[in-house]
Structure 1
Amino acid sequence: MRQLIISVLLIAFANSVCFGQKINAAYRLPIQKAVSPITIDGVLDEKAWELAEVATNFFMITPMDTSYAQVQTDVRMTYDEQNLYIIVVNHHLMEGPYMVESLRRDFSFGKNDNFLLFMDPFDDQTNGFTFGANAAGAQWDGIMFNGGSVDLSWDNKWTSKVKNYEDKWIFEAAIPFKSIRYKKGIKEWGINFSRLDLKATEKSGWAPVPRQFPSASLAYTGILVWDNPPPSAGANVSIIPYALGGVSRDFESESGNIYRREVGMDAKIALTSSLNLDLTVNPDFSQVEVDRQVTNLDRFELFFPERRQFFLENGDLFANFGYSTIRPFFSRRIGLNAPIQFGARLSGKINKDWRIGAMNMQTGEVESDGLPSQNFTVLALQRQVGARSNITGILINKQSLNYDPDPKSEHPLYSQFNRNAGLEYNLASSNNLWTGKAMVLKSFGPDGTQEGFVHAANLKYASGNLSWNWQHEYVSENYTAEVGFVPRNGFYKISPTVGYRWFPKSEKILSHGPDVGTTFFFNTTGQQTDKIINAAYSVRWRSQSNLTVWMGHDFVRLQRPFDPTNFSGETLPAGSIHKWNSLGAEYNSKPQSLFTYSFSTRMGGYYADGDRFNISSELGYRFQPFVSIAMSSNYNRIVLPEPWNTTNFWLVGPRLDITMTNTVFFTAFVQYNEQIENINLNTRFQWRFKPASDLFIVYTDNYLPAPFYTKNRSIVLKFTYWWNV
């Protein structure tokens, strides 16, 4: 009851602060229809560009946010019936080569000289798209959600060109109206432009953004003013077929080669300019980069993000509900152990205030595991309230089809259904200083089983210097989200944090200051099970290198047996109490250097009055813009009493990125994971022969380290083609 009262107070307070005018409404860039054809060549020589209005006089975001930028950037935009065009002149402030990692798509923002466009075509300051490039021509595109978060896994059809000159580099792009979603008939879009120049160590934006927020913050966009409403995308249907061939072999089972010959198809149908229907038949995701292995010393399941393209557009409607460890829907549960046969998803804007998401996926039966065919349905409806806040309702259903579980079977038993229903209020004030949410969830299962309840809320304040956050959570014992990510249940959690930053007038230091946080867990009887106290101090230099030192205290009362090595099979008993102190540091070098490095370390106590020492590092070198090499390592030394004694875990591996052009990529990485006794090799070749159309060759090997024995091996050739009907 206490948590419900707190949430009601949060919502009442939110309603008092979330209304307001758009902050940067005075920054307006007129756009008019092109008077001449546009050729995407990185040359500013068309008549249409001569007549276009210029967005210039950018504001500095970092190192200071109180003056105009020193680096000059000039942006022009125009359009025709098919495309939105942008050309950007990025002037150099000082002599010297540009700084980039490689020509790899969706590059790391902070390690590349780059220009980015952020646009809010619904003018709701919450959802949008981003496009851009680094100074060597590598493309960047993603979908925006939650007021400024960016998902770079999203990929779509557009063209661009970067041309370098002695005193500047020019970025020119054509973005088809068919590739984005926008509200029909409105003449004002939210828009902002971001420039990062590593030589000058300066980040800037056209419409000013306070330095505590990312330049992607949609709360601080200016306005793109159309001379007429943007043209309709017309009949907007895209067919994306694929053909695949491959062979794999499991050497441990001594089975023969398994051959793959598959075809499938995706389709994207724009029902309106802002509402999209996605269809898929026999999808395959073999080209998606595999998850990087980690040393797992956690008591609970680890989270790995979704990268499959079909689940991404408007995916925040489903996947952003809840918190990082309370997600009622997690799309990676679909197709985890069974093939996806077909699926459909309707998502987008109904009007300015309402968004909808509806998804249905069907998986096939797996006889060897006794896994029945299953259907997954998710419905989400979101209503914007105030300036940037919203209320979202969600329904999730997982249903086993034609399934009659046999308790005597040697196969695992699967639930006949699992359902979740929830309601969430998301607060975002007009100036983004106040954010937060309050949510409730209820789960349902057959015969009254799996019925549980969740409540959680937080409120965050982030000014230029001070930031603080209050968060509390409750998850009942029987709450079950089979299509979600909820690694822990049966607890109450309270987690307040506070931080402060000073911004001195120094030629070397950008900011410095402390962060303090505590987290308390209690079981449903009120007994404390965990206590975590952390205190840290961070320093960020103007060169963008940064250092953090921290110290912490942990208290754990185990609720179930746990192996502190996640390796030996020997466990500590439930109910046992463990306390320890630890300290550590993290450092990242400046991104301007061809040679970069980072490290983190911790030392101190561990379970059972033991000790743990950890050091992680990454060394990188780039032969820009074509080759990037990185070597990562992670070492853990765990000293415990018998029967564990001393355990050492190494996780090491090099990564090689070769980008012959911005359409031809080769990536290879090797990882040696001592904890799971595995060596993994993964290589991927990609040729983007046309926008959003690709040829992939993916080769994977897994080995037993000693003796060097092949566990399994596979190679896949995949061809995809994006065809606009």
Structure 2
Amino acid sequence: MRLHPALMLLALAGAGLFPVCVDAQPSAPTRRSVTAVRLPDDARIVLDGRLDEELWETAVPAGDFVQVDPSNGAPATEPTEVRIVYNRHALYLGVMCFDSEPDKWLGYQRRRDEFLQSDDRFMWTIDTFLDAQSGYFFEMNPSGLMGDSLMGGGIDNRQWDGIWNARVHRGDFGWSIEIEIPFRSLNFDPNSDQWGINFQRTVRRKNEDSIWMGWARNQGLRRMTNAGLLTGIRNVSQGLGLDVKPYALAMGESFPGRGQSSFARNTQAGVDVFYSPTSGLRSVLTVNTDFAQTEVDQRQVNLTRFSLFFPEKRDFFLDGAPYFAFGSPLGGDLIVNPFFSRRIGLTPAGTPQRIDYGGKLTGQLGRQDVGFLHVRTGEDQGIVGEEFTVGRVRRRMLAQSYIGGIYTRRDPHGDDRTTRQTAGLDFRLATSRFRGNQNLEATGYFLHADTPSPQGGSAPTGGGNSFGVTAAMPNDLWNIQMASRQVDAQFDPAIGFVTRRGYRRHQPSVEYGPRPRGSKVVRRYAFSTGLDLQTDLRNDLLYRGIDVKLLDVQFQSQDSFNVTVSNRRERLDAPFTPSRGITLPLGAEYENTVATLRAQTASRRVIALSTTLETGGFYSGDKRSAAISLTLRARPGLIVYASTEVNRVELKEGAFTTRLYRLVGETQFSPWIALVNNFQYDSVSAVLGWQSRFRWILRPGSDVYVVYTHNWLDDPLSRFTTLDRRIASKVLYTHRF
């Protein structure tokens, strides 16, 4: 009998060739609490990061952090203390990050919301409704970077920019932070004086993470069921709950690729109005909306048969996005999403379409999470205007579970109306207390989408359905998952995203992640295997993939590498053209084996490298791929990122090569001022793109942007001919009532 390679490795681990330790399953720890001390009415804290006001001494600090890694359950090697005070208008955190080697801090990043895998950092989460299902995430580093996100619905929305302020001070003790969060920036129940709260600190040179509550590796900062309590907040003001944010824009653009060489100049203005009708709800009205400051999409080369998924980057749609999340985040890359906001105000080619106005209501009403959105787009460049409506409700049950529903509607303007609607239900049952502190969850959904009549009338012809279930035990030692779904051939959600129709899919997977006992070199091994089985609705095979991760090693240094072998069998249910002039026929069947090696050095290094090498079969031939990225952090605030991806494909029907290059330079003058230059080129479109984006945060909520974009076509006859170029200057100002 032959053993599967993954089973052999698991057996070796069990036999002791990979000596491992399994975290003891701790009993549920006593829930810690920290009390916020109210300041006298005439008291004032000057934000300079020094914590030198005597007022801070009135608060008892939260401390005694416990290591998550590397020594799970041991006291943190570098102490951290958090004091919390407040007045009628704002919450203040004073944080002392003591360090025995204070000159060895790492803080390369300064730009707001940059990822901090390279830096020391202090993070905290706040669950203002104490529902353990939603909350706010914040983080800072020794260079003063401010990062935040909204948590909820399985989504961590990092594009949310809350209005808050902070300053950092570095000294011979380590580094300290003073933080001010206005109460009007948070939704909460004013009748409750208990919030969920948690803190975590990373000392990057040691690759050490320590946390205040929830130190077991199955828990963590973002699982609010494991958070502590913040008590004592009473009689505070959220103001009128009204923010007015007008903008002014000056823009010039030309399109030499379309024969328009002269610059067309344009000025416009608009406004966003934010209002909280209750302490838990937030509404937004946007008029004459513009997204000129939005960062450019990161290009991808698509060698699959399905559409690529590009994330939303526009502020209006990102604000409150977790309240519209539907279904399970499990299920791989064939996404079924009834609401994908990039369907609104963007053409299929990604060109912006005018938005006349939009309104949105998100938040909590009792035990319900609610989201409502309505947007009207104007006729633009021959594209008909439309109205989009989305409604989403989730009722929270137990500690981490819910049942919910969603409804979407798309109404084109004009006489030829083809109204399209989608409706569905979903649920989540979850606990983090299974067998002590294990995570266990199950989710399911059902969706129905109307299909418009062929004559373009409003009466639907029946439409199609999609439904699915998932079950998972996502834990540190064992991560076991199962996902199944079906998508009918006629299922086409008008404001959604579906990569494939007319199929069934089943995806079981299991990962075993032992940690070597007492190793100073290796932090964690991982071995996994997974099956991806896709059939048509008659259960005839469309695709079968078996992935075996032979070895995944995470080192104590933060370096890592893994090796994966995949076997794939596929039958084409439609002709496929991977490159111009090469078409694979309907009904053709292929079976191939692919090997993949990934290696990555620690992001804390001055020069960090990441490499992915892949070789093996590809339909009727072979494909060799190499993706290499380099990040240079010359000094805090000066970062250069370069990457290349090359795919060489040789098929019986022909051969081709694709190339993708990217170069990004970031000059982060301070946490408030940054200039980012982004260059991209891919051989498929033969377009070289450049975006230069300057942002100056005048104060939290008020910004100045200057954005220049230029695209060139790599024409064989005349190299790099300008296709289009535009420059935009935008000023946004927030006034709070």
Q: Same fold (TM over 0.5)?
A: yes
Q: Distance in 1 between matches of 2:158 and 2:722?
A: 34
Contact 1:102–1:624, Cα closer than 8 Å, also in 2: no
The answer to whether the aligner puts 1:306 opposite 2:345 as a matched pair is: no
Q: Give the paired residue count.
A: 684
**Matches for 1:277-316 after TM superposition, within 5 Å:** 277-316=283-322
1:340 aligns with 2:355: yes
Q: For the residues of structure 1 that align with 2:324 and 2:387, how far apart are their CA atoms? A: 16
1:251 lines up with 2:256 in the alignment: yes
Q: Which of 190, 195, 214 matches 1:189? A: 195
Q: Distance in 1 between matches of 2:731 and 2:489?
A: 47
Q: Which residue of 2 aligns with 1:317?
A: 323
Is 1:158 aligned to residue 156 of structure 2? no
Contact map agreement 2:109 2:116 (CA 8 A) in 1? no
Structure 1: state its 5+ residue gaps: 1-21, 405-414
The corresponding residue for 2:18 is none
Q: Is the 8 A contact 2:151 2:322 kept in 1?
A: no
2:200–2:221 contact (8 Å) kept in structure 1 = yes
Match of 2:656 among 633, 647, 650: 647
Whichever residue aligns with residue 358 of structure 1, its letter is: F
| Aligned twin of 2:3 | none
What one-letter code is carried by the residue in structure 2 that aligns with 1:234? G
Q: Who is 1:8 aligned against?
A: none
Residues 85-105 of structure 1: CA distance to partner in whole angstroms, max 9, x if unpaired? 001111114354311232111
Residue 314 of structure 1: CA displacement?
Answer: 2.7
Instruction: Give yes or no for contact 1:24–1:221 (8 Å, CA) kept in 2.
Output: no
Q: What is the rounded CA distance, in whole Å, between the counterparts of 2:310 and 2:100 in structure 1?
A: 40
Distance 2:252 2:201 in 1: 45
> Which of 582, 602, 605 is the matching residue for 1:590?
602
* Contact 1:529–1:557 under 8 Å retained in 2: yes
Query: Which amino acid is the alignment partner of residue 457 of structure 1?
Result: V
The answer to whether residue 731 in structure 2 is matched with residue 719 in structure 1 is yes
Alignment partners' CA distance in 1, 2:200 and 2:142: 13
Which of these residues, 678, 681, 687, is aligned with residue 672 of structure 1? 681
The Cα offsets for residues 373-406 of structure 1, whole Å up to 9 and x where unpaired, read as 21111111110111110111111111112232xx
Aligned to 1:143: 150
Selected match of 2:633 from 611, 622, 631: 622
Say whether residues 1:28 and 2:33 are aligned partners.
Answer: yes
Mapped to 1, the partners of 2:220 and 2:291 lie a distance apart of: 31
Q: Secondary structure of 2:643's partner?
A: strand
Given candidates 663, 680, 689, the residue that maps to 2:672 is 663
| Residue of 468, 486, 509 corresponding to 2:522 | 509
Q: 2:379 aligned with 1:365, yes or no?
A: yes
Q: TM-score, normalised by structure 1?
A: 0.92
Alpha-carbon distance in 2 for matches of 1:686, 1:258: 24
| 3-state SS in 2 of match to 1:317 | helix
**Does 2:119 align with 1:112?**
yes
Give how far 1:24 is off.
5.5
8 Å Cα contact 1:25-1:222 kept in structure 2: no
5 Å-filtered alignment, 1:360-439, equals: 360-366=374-380, 368-369=381-382, 371-404=383-416, 416-431=418-433, 433-439=439-445
Q: Does structure 1 residue 684 correspond to structure 2 residue 693?
A: yes
Moved more, 679-688 or 372-381: 372-381
Tell me, in whole angstroms, the C-alpha distance in 1 between the residues paired with 2:562 and 2:465: 38
2:293 counterpart SS class: coil
2:588 to 571, 576, 583: 576
Indicate the residue corresponding to 2:543 in structure 1: 530
Q: What is residue 265 of structure 1 aligned with on the other side? A: 271
Question: CA 1:374/1:569 → structure 2, altered by over 3 Å: closer, same or farther?
Answer: farther
Q: Which residue of 2 aligns with 1:6?
A: none
Q: Distance in 2 between matches of 1:293 and 1:463?
A: 33
Deviation of the 1:450 alpha carbon: 5.9
Q: Which amino acid aligns with 1:424?
A: D
Distance 2:235 2:67 in 1: 31
Does the C-alpha gap of structure 1 residues 360 and 341 become closer, same or farther in structure 2, counting only changes over 3 Å?
Answer: same
What SS is found at the alignment partner of 1:199? helix
Question: Secondary structure of 2:449's match?
Answer: strand
Change (3 A) 1:556 1:230: farther
- What per-residue deviation string (whole Å, max 9, x for no partner) do you get for residues 443-502 of structure 1? 113343361011111011023311100100001110111200111110010000000011
2:6 alignment counterpart:
none
DSSP-derived class of the 1:661 partner = coil
In 1, the alpha carbon distance for the partners of 2:692 and 2:451 equals 42
- Identical columns (%): 28
Matches of 1:132 and 1:557 in 2, distance apart?
Answer: 47
Equivalent residue, structure 2, for 1:15: none
Q: CA deviation at 1:356?
A: 1.3
Q: How does 1:193-208 map to 2 (within 5 A)?
A: 193-208=199-214
* 2:17 aligned residue: none
- Deviation at residue 288 of structure 1 after TM alignment: 1.2
1:133 aligns with 2:140: yes
CA distance in 2, matches of 1:339, 1:34: 48
* 1:540-570 CA distance string (max 9 Å, x none): 01111111110001111111111123xx143
Q: Conserved in 1, the CA contact under 8 Å of 2:439 and 2:473?
A: yes
Partner of 1:694: 703
CA distance in 1, matches of 2:101, 2:429: 43
**Matched residue type, 2:370:** I
Tell me how far apart the structure 1 counterparts of residues 323 and 701 of structure 2 sit (CA, whole Å). 24
d(CA) in 1 for partners of 2:168, 2:83? 15
Closer, same or farther: CA 184–662 of 1 in aligned 2, 3 Å? same
Residues 1:633 and 2:644 are matched in the alignment: yes
Could you tell me how far 1:229 is from its partner in structure 2?
2.8
Question: What is the RMSD of the two structures over their aligned residues, measured on CA atoms?
Answer: 1.6
* Secondary structure of the structure 2 residue equivalent to 1:332: helix
The CA distance in 2 between the partners of 1:531 and 1:430, in whole Å, is: 33
Match of 1:86 in 2: 93
Cα distance in 2 for partners of 1:640, 1:539 equals 34
Give, as a single letter, the amino acid of the residue that structure 1 aligns with 2:192. Answer: I
Q: Distance in 2 between matches of 1:322 and 1:421?
A: 16
CA distance in 2, matches of 1:442, 1:603: 41
Give the superposition deviation at 1:213. Answer: 4.5
Q: How does 1:227-242 map to 2 (within 5 A)?
A: 228-229=233-234, 231-242=236-247
Separation (CA, whole Å) in 2 of partners of 1:485 and 1:213? 32
Tell me which moved more, 25-34 or 353-362.
25-34
State the alpha-carbon separation in 2 of the partners of residues 24 and 268 from structure 1: 40
2:452 aligned with 1:441 = no
Distance in 1 separating the partners of 2:100 and 2:440:
36
Q: Deviations for 1:291-328, whole angstroms, at most 9, x for unmatched residues?
A: 11111111111111112111223312223445560100
Distance 1:705 1:101 in 2: 35
CA distance in 2, matches of 1:23, 1:130: 24
Q: What residue identity is the alignment partner of 1:69?
A: A
Aligned-partner residue type, residue 524 of structure 1: L
Q: Distance in 2 between matches of 1:320 and 1:195?
A: 32
Counterpart of 1:604 (choices 612, 616, 629) is 616
TM-score by length of 2: 0.90
Letter in 1 for 2:400: R
Q: Distance in 2 between matches of 1:520 and 1:714?
A: 46
* Distance of 1:694 and 1:607 partners within structure 2: 50
Query: 1: CA distance between counterparts of 2:705 and 2:268?
Result: 14
Query: 2-side partners of 1:595 and 1:52: how far apart?
Result: 42
Is contact 2:134-2:152 (8 Å) kept? yes
What are the superposed Cα offsets for residues 505-534 of structure 1, whole Å, 9 maximum, x if unpaired?
Answer: 201111102011010001011101001110
Distance (whole Å) between structure 1 residues aligned to residue 428 and residue 29 of structure 2: 22
Which segment is superposed worse, 314-323 or 155-164? 314-323
SS of the aligned residue for 1:497 comes to strand
Equivalent position to 2:492, from 480, 496, 499: 480
Amino acid at match of 1:30: T
Instruction: Name the counterpart of 1:551.
Output: 565
